[in-house]
Amino acid sequence: MPELPETETIAGDLHAAICGAGIVRVQVVRADVLRGAPSSGPVARRSVSRIDGPVFARRLTGQRIARVFRRAKSIVIAFENATQLVVTPRFTGALILSGSAVADAYACLRLEISDGRDLRYTDVRRLGTVAFLDAEAFAEWSGALGPEPLDPEFTVERFSGCLRGSKRAIKSVLMDQARLAGVGNIYANEALWRARIRPSRRASSLRVAEREALHRELTSVLREAVAARGTSFRDYRDAFGARGGFAAQLQAYGRGGEPCTRCGAALKTSHIIEGRATVWCATCQK
């Protein structure tokens, strides 16, 4: 599932490639991935829900792209009229930019860009979503998310506030998008291994030095993964269809049963926390 480094890579690629371009044609192939909010009415009644393909296409056609950026695990295409297209790839989704339309059996949505290029959202399992939101609906969505770990304002003190009072496992808190945006299973495993903290520890039990170490290692591993253009195992591809290169640098995730590169003990694997694969060293991580 694309996390912060992967969606940051895609957003950066697209911003450089299509900022300022217009959308001249919209082809909806699989409408079940589409979401939207009513274009008017009280904010409290404007929850994001499924939207008809023709309505979605009509709202999107003619829009001009002002900016592409990332929020949490989503890619946001912002338009000049303050509306946004929020793409959340989840497990098998991808945004691919091509020089022209190409055959793609899993394409759900195609956007023809004003320079003739083709931007398509493709999703094998169709678990991701593509939402068209106005400014108020976007602010409500974004406001429900936690702080961004790569923002300059994300200090140790702010990180400590994300953990404060929680009796949940520290790994669960790291992956809770309402507490901290963008971190998923891969980088939670990696940051905890680097910081020598057991994933099942209560978040509130971390001492000051441990919170400082985890803040440092979390931000470091995310920046390193962005520099490597993300982690590819099976499905993740960047905006041009290329694989990320960070998998070779993983020390915990996907290495259950292999020797810990720090102490040599066999890494353990469990699915108790959030039903996701947790990999840790019982010798190094306390």
Question: Which residue in 158, 201, 223, 276 is the catalytic one?
Answer: 276
Q: Which of 77, 112, 143 is the last residue of a domain?
A: 143
Residue 10 lies in a domain: yes
Strand partners, 266: 259
Residue 285 lies in a domain: no
φ and ψ of 137, to 5 deg: -65, -40
Give the pLDDT confidence of 107-159 residue by residue, as tens digits. Answer: 999 999 999 999 999 999 999 999 999 999 999 999 999 999 999 999 999 99
DSSP 27: E
18 & 124 share domain:
yes
Give the pLDDT confidence of 240-254 residue by residue, as tens digits. Answer: 999 999 999 999 999
124 & 164 share domain:
no
Question: Which residue in 35, 46, 73, 110 is the catalytic one?
Answer: 73
Question: What is the domain extent for residue 95?
Answer: 4-143
Query: Which pLDDT band, with edges at 50, 70 and 90, does 47 fall under?
Result: low
Q: Which of 143, 176, 210 is the last residue of a domain?
A: 143
The pLDDT of residue 45 is 44
The pLDDT of residue 235 is 83
81-95: average pLDDT: 95
60 & 185 share domain:
no
The pLDDT of residue 259 is 98
126 & 16 share domain:
yes
Q: Which of 111, 143, 175 is the last residue of a domain?
A: 143
214 & 98 share domain:
no
265 & 164 share domain:
yes
Distance CA 190, CA 175 (A): 12
43 & 113 share domain:
yes
Number of domains in the chain: 2
Q: Is 30 a residue of the active site?
A: no
- CATH number of the domain where residue 168 is located: 1.10.8.50
Q: How many CB atoms within 10 Å of residue 127? A: 14
164 & 241 share domain:
yes
126 & 165 share domain:
no
Question: Which residue in 3, 8, 112, 217 is the catalytic one?
Answer: 3
180 & 243 share domain:
yes
Q: What mean pLDDT, rounded, does the chain reach?
A: 94
Q: Is 3 a residue of the active site?
A: yes
- CATH number of the domain where residue 84 is located: 3.20.190.10
Distance CA 161, CA 62 (A): 43
Question: Residue 210: enclosing H or E segment and its boundaries?
Answer: helix 208-227
Residue 222 lies in a domain: yes
Strand partners, 95: 121
DSSP 199: T
95 & 161 share domain:
no
23 & 125 share domain:
yes
- Does residue 42 surpass a pLDDT of 80? no
